[in-house]
Amino acid sequence: MDLKQAFETAMKGEIEGRELYLIAAERSGDEKAKEVFSYLAQEEDSHFEALKKMYHSYLKGEALHLTELPRLVRFEDALHPIFSADFKQRLKGRHFEMSALSIALKLEQDSFRFYGKVADETENRELKKFFSHLSEWEKDHYDALQREISYLEDDYFTENRFAPF
């Protein structure tokens, strides 16, 4: 994959993530989830803007100026970082939120793997550092979403009577 294609694929992925998080924030009935999904949408947008700026410089043949992106600020509650404890008690019928988490998990996994691959393949030391940083950032998102799904999943299946017992 050439660098032009890597930038285009990365920007597309950031837009998809941003839009998913915006929809999830809008549709969720949990205030804490709205706040966190909005925050994640803003992060995806900042990734997109940084990538777009670098991409335009690349297309013009200019030197690439790497945008410094601060590492993800950890969610306050490591056990259940997205949804409130009250939400867990009201899981019946919360199919949208659980579906949004699952889709977001897949997007974040695809992102951190893709950025890691681009980092491994590029010879440019600064780009390698930038894409490695993005990979770690998306891995942070992935880990937070995975913890959330693990926290909610058993109760979700029980409350919605997916299990036969």
pLDDT tens by residue, 54-88 = 899 889 988 777 776 665 555 555 455 666 666 66
| Domain assignments of the chain as residue spans, ordered by start | 3-159
| Average pLDDT in the chain | 82
Other CB atoms within 10 Å distance of the CB of residue 38: 16
For 108-164, the pLDDT digits (tens) are 999 999 999 999 998 888 888 888 988 998 898 898 888 888 877 777 777 777 766
What is the pLDDT, as a whole number, of residue 116? 96
CATH superfamily of 3-159: Ferritin, core subunit, four-helix bundle (1.20.1260.10)
pLDDT at site 78: 45
